[in-house]
Chain A
Amino acid sequence: MAEPDTTTDAAEVVYSGALRRIQRCMGILAVALPIVAWFSFGGRTAIGLACGCLVALFNFVWLKRGVEALADRVVGAGKAQSGKGIVARFLLRYVLMGLAAYGILTVSPASLYGLLAGLFLPVAAIACEAAYEVYVALARGL
């Protein structure tokens, strides 16, 4: 009788939690980075960075919800949502980002660089997740 492949199961367990870990990492970075920026670059940059992180966080959550709704619609599972609603929510993210950038730019141009840096929060979180997965793969031999 063949033994169950425990390595594949363990790998699936690690990879299935990737999205949750990325969101958690984004939350931690959204708090930590503005604090570091406050002491390093000043208050305005830190506020801009915090706004950018917040927008990126909402953007990522809405992106996730949009993709989930799309998958529900394709598979035919879950509550049926209108295609127009999914597309409208998808586009609403860009409106939010544009409004935040415009607001920051009109209030304080100095914090614009902080806002732009904050928008890269998902990239930083994905990089952290990639590093974590490399570590897990090397440490556990997955």
Chain B
Amino acid sequence: MRKLSYVFMILSALCLAVPAFAQAGQASTVNWVAITSGFAMAIASAVCGMAQAKATAAAAEGLARNPSARPGIQLALILGLALIESLALYTLVIIFAKVK
């Protein structure tokens, strides 16, 4: 509970800090789109990696428990992995569309 309250405190401080940044007189030269794109790709890759690991682990466990269900599990795993990979590709496409 204490940790959660710290998280909310930090988030509220960040919300208050945003208008303070906006009050700067000069236009910022930092390319925020490129920076946030890097973070977006990193987050997407990490989450897709975790999702693929979880799907593979669950499929391996299912196969070990019930080898006779192999065709169904294998098909679901292949399709699942292909679709999870495409999610990272969606992020990449959006980044290419936004960053010139």
Give A contacts to B, CB under 8 Å: 15-16, 18-19, 22, 59-60, 63-64, 67-68, 70-71, 74-75, 77, 112-113, 116, 119-120, 122-123, 126
> CB within 8 A of A70: which of B56, B71, B72?
B56
Considering only CB atoms and an 8 Å cut-off, how many residues of chain B contact the other chain? 23
CA gap between A64 and B79 in the complex, in Å: 9
CA gap between A63 and B75 in the complex, in Å: 11
Give B contacts to A, CB under 8 Å: 56, 60, 63-64, 67, 70-75, 77-79, 81-83, 85-86, 89, 92-93, 96
Secondary structure type dominating chain B contacts: helix
Chain A to chain B contacts (Cβ below 8 Å), 14 pairs: A15-B75, A18-B75, A19-B78, A67-B74, A67-B77, A67-B78, A71-B70, A71-B73, A71-B74, A74-B63, A75-B70, A112-B96, A116-B89, A122-B86
